[in-house]
Chain A
Amino acid sequence: MDIKILTREPETLRFILSDASTAFANALRRIMISEVPIMAIDDVMVLENNSVMYDEILAHRLGLVPVTTDQSYNLPEECSCKSELGCEKCRASLSLEIEASEASEVVYSSQLKPENPDVRPVSDKIPIVKLTQGQRIKLEAYARLGRGRVHAKWQPVSAATYSYDPKTRTFNFLVESTGTLPPEKLVLQAARIISQKTLGFEEGLGGIGQN
């Protein structure tokens, strides 16, 4: 298999894959979309909210804010703590405390304060909620690792596609990250996951088919 990188921008990667099967190229694409674990807010502890936005809607919006991923965290299901809300090894917290001092104040993603600077919103400009004077929100949000196939907020890409040229038998890939992970890391992780799955299958066979 041969990989030639065409363009590399901060969040977008284009490369050409040759000497590979469609099955492999497609597996890579699908894994990038649904199985590469990334960080996203999953639990929100609301202490105060007298805004017009219900707690649940606010929490849903927070879940959808892209957050940078620190791969040293454990996946919740794999963490030794086995606790619902997690421990410091499987969650990163971000806090939000804001009171509007005048009419029509917008709360932006920049106001989410991360506990770990490596797990922070990708963009500062995402509007979360609009408040008027006297409205207060105080909450603590926990980001956890998760997979796109469980919830779209854990989808690391806004685009992962390829086109096939039958003459040269090459796959022209486009990978656009949401900013949570650099695209190169994403592709590498996807390849590793394919490998892990294959090994898992072999283990599952339990020795059938040997010699």
Chain B
Amino acid sequence: MEAGPEETQPETAPPTLPVQRNPGGLFYECINCGSKLTADQLAMTPEIKCPYCGYRILRKVRPPIVKHVKAR
């Protein structure tokens, strides 16, 4: 759950992380630079790594699925 305003390009300024809305259903996001990746892109390198900034911590983006929850 990141906090921060929405930006269209990732910038190098912490503490806010860029949030991109609806990038077309990509699955992972680099914690450092905020670039989006698919599972295939991650599989390209032997160790998982952001291809842009080399950071090794990624998070899984919430899938754009409607979740039905019972209010009980």
Contact = CB atoms under 8 A, between A and B. Distances in A.
Nearest to A46: B67
Interface of A: 40-52, 55-56, 58-60, 62-64, 85, 103, 132-135, 141, 151, 153
A49 B70 CA distance: 16
Contacts of B71: 40-44, 59-60, 62-64, 141, 153
A135 B3 contact: yes
Contacts of A46: 66-69
18 contacts: A42-B71, A43-B70, A43-B71, A44-B68, A45-B66, A45-B69, A46-B67, A47-B66, A49-B62, A59-B70, A60-B72, A85-B68, A132-B3, A134-B3, A134-B4, A134-B6, A135-B3, A151-B72
B2 interface: yes
Interface residues of B, number: 15
8 closest A-B pairs by beta carbon, nearest first, are: A63-B71, A59-B69, A46-B67, A59-B71, A44-B69, A134-B3, A41-B71, A50-B1
B5 interface: yes
A134 B2 contact: yes
Given A133-B3, A133-B4, A133-B5, A55 B19 contact: no
Contacts of B6: 134
Interface in B25-66: 62, 66
B5 A134 contact: yes
B66 A55 contact: no
A43 B68 contact: yes
A50 B3 CA distance: 9
Given A47-B66, A153-B71, 8 more contacts: A43-B68, A44-B70, A45-B67, A46-B66, A46-B69, A48-B62, A55-B69, A151-B72
A46 B70 CA distance: 11
Nearest to B69: A59
Interface centre among A43, A55, A63, A134 (most CB of B within 10 A): A134
Interface centre among B2, B4, B68, B69 (most CB of A within 10 A): B69
A116 to B, nearest CB: 18
Contacts of A56: 69
Contacts of B72: 42, 60, 63, 151, 153
A39 to B, nearest CB: 12
Nearest to A103: B3
A42 B2 CA distance: 29
A124 B62 CA distance: 30
A64 B72 CA distance: 9
